[in-house]
Copies of this chain bind each other. A is one copy, B any other.
């Protein structure tokens, strides 16, 4: 086999890089569990017809099929899930009778998207989602809680601060209705282009595609220009002179969200009424998160509220949740040198081997260390000690242990300090015990 070449879009990490990714996943899991989310994992495949319910994703689906499938097989066509929301909706319907609602779950799994390879996007990546799903009803306060859980999780990662921009479907829909602009989704699609093409071009699309009058277009753009992190946001919307019940409901929710956020995670959450992405399918709050100084990454954590995440006809399940694009974040941490692992292996101590006949002695030392929770390995061969120390050094292992029948010694190979030690009692300093990930 010739040396293989990487597959575009399928990221893979070296051991020291994987330590960073594992650290990120551990921190997320820990935060989600502190907040009482139960972890679930769903199968990687769903019936293709379920994956295609939102027509626009069809290009992104990877179909799977048995290579030796029989002709005329009656099996359902399957595809790899492209997010964790479609599987959650199916899981809730399938297991509803055995779940307690509101159902708070986190889910950290790979997803796949059959993107065109030349776009340079990931085709396989890890997502980390939190959602709360209610049965028939879901209190508004979860729309406040969920982004704050994510803010806490992201703050615990070795990354720059994040900015969570929030908006609310009810504001846009109520406002547009209030000014007589009836093509709400068309107007949202136009506003979604604001950052890319600017207000003049958006005004043109609003008039030509969404049927807006010049005055309606002007008001829609004024609405989209409003940002802020307190109740003044609502005042500035009201100053535009539009009156509508749904608009008022949305403003109340948005202010409740930014005020609670200011109190619990100051400086993180801002209302930004230009956020339109997702407003066509979310029904309440929506969230987009950028990494300060890395805005080119796009949103690293998005989500919102669905009044009907799932429905089996008899019963409707509303939900609110957010999803972190973990692989994209990890790729930036690694590529941008934001953080690094203290070493590429878990090993704190490499036990040297004096001769192959005495390997058992080294094995016993390693076993004694492990029994006390100290990751230990034994040298591959009874080479000269200098070579054994170099092996530890190449792996970043901080300590080398020299066993002896009449006494043991352990060397910190960074400082060169060597001391007598007992395998039943010696321990490395806490900072050397486990691999750590530090900001660089």
A residues with CB within 8 A of B: 1-7, 10-15, 18-19, 21-22, 33-45, 47-48, 50, 58-59, 61-69, 75-76, 78-80, 89-91, 93-96, 98-100, 102, 104-105, 110, 112, 114, 117, 124, 134, 139, 141, 145, 260, 263-264, 310-313, 344-347, 350, 356, 359-360, 363, 367, 370, 373-378, 380-381, 391, 394-395
Q: Smallest CB-CB separation from A350: which chain B residue?
A: B36
Min CB distance A423 to B, Å, is 14
Given A12-B91, A14-B98, A67-B59, do A38 and B345 touch, yes or no (CB 8 Å)? yes
Q: Are A312 and B43 in contact (CB under 8 A)?
A: no
Q: Are B100 and A394 in contact (CB under 8 A)?
A: yes
The distance in angstroms between the C-alpha atoms of A134 and B391, with both chains bound, is 13
Q: Select A347's contact among B22, B36, B78, B345, beta carbons within 8 Å.
A: B36
Q: Are A2 and B313 in contact (CB under 8 A)?
A: yes
Min CB distance A37 to B, Å, is 7
Neighbouring B residues of A374 by C-beta, 8 Å: 34
Q: Are A43 and B7 in contact (CB under 8 A)?
A: yes
Q: Are A63 and B67 in contact (CB under 8 A)?
A: yes
The distance in angstroms between the C-alpha atoms of A428 and B64, with both chains bound, is 48
Given A22-B39, A44-B112, do A62 and B64 touch, yes or no (CB 8 Å)? yes
Given A79-B67, A94-B5, A105-B15, do A375 and B58 touch, yes or no (CB 8 Å)? no
Closest 6 CB pairs of A and B: A36-B377, A66-B114, A33-B346, A36-B347, A15-B38, A10-B43
Q: Are B67 and A80 in contact (CB under 8 A)?
A: no
The distance in angstroms between the C-alpha atoms of A138 and B344, with both chains bound, is 21
The distance in angstroms between the C-alpha atoms of A29 and B135, with both chains bound, is 36
Q: Are A38 and B1 in contact (CB under 8 A)?
A: no
Q: Smallest CB-CB separation from A66: which chain B residue?
A: B114
Q: Are B39 and A15 in contact (CB under 8 A)?
A: yes
Given A3-B93, A264-B367, do A12 and B43 touch, yes or no (CB 8 Å)? yes
Neighbouring B residues of A344 by C-beta, 8 Å: 38, 100
Neighbouring B residues of A311 by C-beta, 8 Å: 1
The distance in angstroms between the C-alpha atoms of A115 and B347, with both chains bound, is 39
The distance in angstroms between the C-alpha atoms of A313 and B40, with both chains bound, is 44
Given A36-B375, A117-B75, A375-B35, do A62 and B58 touch, yes or no (CB 8 Å)? no
Min CB distance A244 to B, Å, is 25
- Given contacts A18-B41, A64-B64, list 16 more A-B pairs with CB under 8 A: A2-B312, A3-B94, A5-B94, A7-B47, A10-B45, A12-B42, A14-B40, A15-B105, A18-B39, A22-B39, A33-B375, A34-B373, A36-B377, A38-B345, A100-B391, A104-B377
